[in-house]
A and B are shown apart, each in its own frame.
Chain A
């Protein structure tokens, strides 16, 4: 309830933003929204369930390529691509969740890096299916029509921004419901002490797998939105750098705090816009923030504030 009251003015402000902002600012806002979805997804699996993953870029790419390939081969619109991207990425998330049943910590992190690398190689080398390094063109998002009557044309940047905002809001609400559900409590219990979670009768296998599926599905949705926004996909849009950036966003804000990773995503997505000609050094800056942050404030900014308040 408290969260929805705080969120309403923010969403309202974002909804009316296109009336006063230009194309560049709207593009930046959309990039922030994509990162919010990605970071929230990672927060579910890592922040809440305690399973490390460096494969966000891979699931992001799977969603984007699902949209691109469906658009090319089936001529479908974004309304089909959004559930399909979530489903396909979620299925791969289930696949990656299986090693998580046996591995923890660094070992799991290494497996997710390997998964990220395999996915990158697959989309960059399987030229006949993915277009290889050149990538694929993606058609316009289409329109929202009911019984032949067009309600919403998604061809313009402004209308596509509103769609992105709507989908992001749904994703944030879904993630909020998840972390406050019984499943969310299971995730936290697994993160805190997996053996204890098993001892009190929790199904830790189901808990871990659902966290991976939710994480991957959210990244897949962000991928679909990005593919239609860029009107194309290339392998270099979905590298391990994306995964590292999202990890930095989550860690800066505070993993397992819900609002923290959102703030981390907003801050680190905006930073490059102020760097001007130094923007090419953004990964260096993210890395530095990550090292300093992990050393001085390992629980993230919001995590630290919350801990101070609870004492």
Chain B
């Protein structure tokens, strides 16, 4: 479904990714783990075209998409839920959700149905549909951010640290919401620092360190936390 082959990317002359290779199968939930500054967000940005891929290839459904502009990748089925619970703060909740369906302008009936679907999934958003998004709580903003991405009707949803800076109870809610997304048949790539949450919901994990995949393993195949720590933190085994 989504495949990265030796992707090298960065900002200007600064190289962040030094040959990342990953595979996210159709309908799978894959987690990309790693510490700060290891290249997790850059990996997602290079997939959606916000960071140019300098070498290597990003493939979606077997087709290379390196040359596809960022604004067209949404129409190809890729949607990013950015880090930081980003919303358009001057717009209402509903306007934010509709922005997610911006490229589907001729699809009015379906857009209305999808909007109701989002409200069904995230009831608090329905209650606050007329409220400016800038006034929402952290958890509500995260729900809105996910809802807006779903409005694009993606086939692959990329989530960048959805649990960051949220209370434990809200993290549980978000984790449950992400698991529920699988019922929509979505392919999910989750970037996380919260290892516990990732191991709870993902099928497969990758650990990135220094812009390279340092570890990968199927969840449930007996991941040793000690081993994971070593790759995650770069700690030496004694």
Contact = CB atoms under 8 A, between A and B. Distances in A.
Contacts of A63: none
B90 A192 contact: yes
Contacts of B113: none
A203 interface: yes
A310 B132 contact: yes
Interface residues of A, number: 20
B60 interface: no
B219 interface: no
Contacts of A191: 90
Nearest to B44: A199
B91 A199 contact: no
A200 B95 contact: no
Given A188-B88, A188-B91, A256-B90, A200 B132 contact: no
A199 B99 contact: no
A185 interface: yes
A167 B80 CA distance: 44
A182 B48 contact: no
Contacts of A225: none
B90 A201 contact: no
Interface of B: 48-50, 69-75, 79-80, 82, 86-91, 95, 99-100, 102-103, 105, 131-132, 135, 148-149, 152
Contacts of A26: none
Contacts of A310: 131-132, 135
A185 B91 CA distance: 9
Interface string A292-311: 00000000000000000011
A192 B70 contact: no
Interface in A184-214: 185-186, 188-189, 191-193, 195-196, 198-204
A198 B88 contact: no
Contacts of B95: 185
A189 B87 CA distance: 9
Interface string A238-280: 0000000000000000001000000000000000000000000
Contacts of A204: 71
B9 to A, nearest CB: 15
B91 A201 contact: no
B71 A196 contact: no
B152 to A, nearest CB: 7
Nearest to A198: B70
Given A185-B95, A201-B103, A192 B48 contact: no
